[in-house]
Structure 1
Amino acid sequence: MDQSAFAAALLDPSLPVPGGVTCARGEPDATRFSIYRNNVVAGLSRALGERFPVVRRLVGDAFFNGMARAFLTTSLPQSPLIFAYGDTFPDFIAGFAPAAALPYLADTARLEAVWTRAYHAADATPLPAERLLAIAPERLPLVRLSPHPAAALARSDFAIGTIWQAHQAEAVGSVAAMAPECVLVTRPVFDVRVHVVPTADGVFADAVFRGEALGEAAAIAFARHPDFDFGHALLGLASLGAFAGSPSQGDPT
């Protein structure tokens, strides 16, 4: 059996039943294949709905199911781990014309994708803020920190963190979506946590996560946000579980 033809027919009802899919009489069994096709589509749509529940609530079940079906015709799972399905769904939403009226939808989906990755990330002990307080001030700018395996940033021109938080409740009030937000996602122990952090702190965290020493990361944040508070940001991010491992102090020479 041609596996590529089989996969294509699963997603396109206009294609004929793949060769080899027959009933007991040896004839093509369109009815059974149609049932199988519907089960695959329904299962993948359900997996997307479970991974992107806020997006689903924002657009409603009917719209979400239609969007999910359109997505899966272009993107099948690349892993047997179904919870990982949908990494490219946010990008698809960004280009999905019927969703254009909700410009924050794609970034909300990106935040939900980050949440899932944080949930399944490796365990690690967060770096205690006290370890940073013990470092001599003159050495602190040389320190490099490792991001916690579950820590990640999601930045948007829209209030995606506030939108996400509002939809954790059964009843959702009005949300001012047209405001930029930087969101830090962490999982210091068991539960994934979503934090809206100051934009300057997000710039700093992004530089640290990319491997910059604390002094250079602070300079990057200061250049873009003159009111950046280095000490407050560093200890605040550490207290949220953004870092793991031991501080690495570089050579000043």
Structure 2
Amino acid sequence: MNATFAKALLDPQMPCPPGLRAWNGSDPARRFAVYRNNVLASLGNALGETFPVVRQLVGEDFFASMARLFLQASPPRSPVLAFYGEGFAKFIAAFPAAASLPYLADVARLELAQVHAYHAADLPPLESASLATALADPELLPGMCFQLHPSMAVVSSDHAIASLWAAHQGLLELAEVDTRQAECALVLRNGLEVEVSRIGPSDCAFIQALAAGSPLGSAVGAALAIDNDFNLASTLARLLAGGAITRFTLHSGSQMP
């Protein structure tokens, strides 16, 4: 009964589950239809709150239809809807009606990263003085490992996802965005505000390597493999200014490229 009820609740094509009774003897099918509409609308609104730029890009009607199909394929598993939509980007990538917007799935990935950043744990940023002392010794640099803030993420795409996001915040003119331009977005919470900024591909490779646990020397190597002009000093300064580095450890035996 519970499985049948849940399935019918998300599928308007299914009939009212058998066995339902209304307290006043009214038609349970009509009451169930109202309840189903409310549930679908609430879940659709929750998705819209998590993916507002996706919704703006496709329009209200298209988003509502797409969201309803997603709800039927991937109903929520928890009453807490803060993270509902984990599989939405993958769903969009395989959704035929969205094929003309090849950047849409990656925009969804970026917006989900913002949600995760907002709800990530708090950690105090690293004191720059202690890091400056370690950085002053060139022999220690290659083996340094950094712990990054839990809210931090990078999202890379073959499309201009950071610029699209910025345009929908009023920071750019949408007409100026070339969606075919590959971009990488840095997501980081600053206080209670989640910030999104565009970074270069070498910066993206560097941060991804650090996040994977690579020591500084290996991370720099990953960045230089993409761009010989990678600037370690400015990238570290940017991460420190944003509170993205929370801890560092020293290891020997690594070499700086």
For the superposition of Structure 1 and Structure 2, which TM-score range results when normalised by the shorter chain? over 0.9
Residue pair 2:126, 2:240 contacting (<8 A) in 1 also: yes
Pair 1:18 & 2:20 matched: no
- Out of 145, 166, 184, the position equivalent to 1:182 is 184
Residue pair 1:20, 1:28 contacting (<8 A) in 2 also: no
Alignment-derived partner of residue 165 in structure 1: 166
Residue pair 1:125, 1:188 contacting (<8 A) in 2 also: no
Q: CA deviation at 1:23?
A: 1.7
Distance 1:81 1:172 in 2: 36
Alignment-derived partner of residue 91 in structure 2: 92
Q: CA deviation at 1:251?
A: 3.4
CA deviation map 1:17-46 (0-9, x unaligned): 223321237787100111111011000100
- Superposed counterparts of 1:192-203, under 5 Å: 192-203=194-205
- Superposed counterparts of 1:1-253, under 5 Å: 2-24=1-23, 29-135=28-134, 136-169=137-170, 172-174=173-175, 175-244=177-246, 246-252=247-253
Q: CA deviation at 1:122?
A: 0.8
Query: What secondary structure does 1:84 align onto?
Result: coil
Query: What secondary structure does 2:92 align onto?
Result: helix
Instruction: Give the structure-1-normalised TM-score.
Output: 0.93
Structure 1, unaligned runs of 5 or more: none
The AA in structure 2 aligned to 1:72 is L
Residue pair 2:156, 2:184 contacting (<8 A) in 1 also: yes
Deviates more, 1:218-227 or 1:92-101: 218-227
Query: What secondary structure does 1:218 align onto?
Result: helix
Residue pair 2:163, 2:172 contacting (<8 A) in 1 also: no
Residue pair 2:141, 2:217 contacting (<8 A) in 1 also: yes
Residue pair 1:129, 1:235 contacting (<8 A) in 2 also: no
Instruction: Give the structure-2-normalised TM-score.
Output: 0.91
Identity %: 44
Distance 1:147 1:141 in 2: 17
Distance 2:47 2:218 in 1: 40
Q: CA deviation at 1:223?
A: 2.0
Distance 2:19 2:173 in 1: 51
Query: What secondary structure does 1:82 align onto?
Result: coil
Name the CA shift for 1:170/1:201 in 2 (closer, same or farther; >3 Å): closer
Distance 2:4 2:174 in 1: 48
Deviates more, 1:187-196 or 1:59-68: 187-196
Q: CA deviation at 1:52?
A: 0.6
Distance 2:230 2:173 in 1: 33
Name the CA shift for 1:167/1:101 in 2 (closer, same or farther; >3 Å): same
Length, aligned pairs only: 251
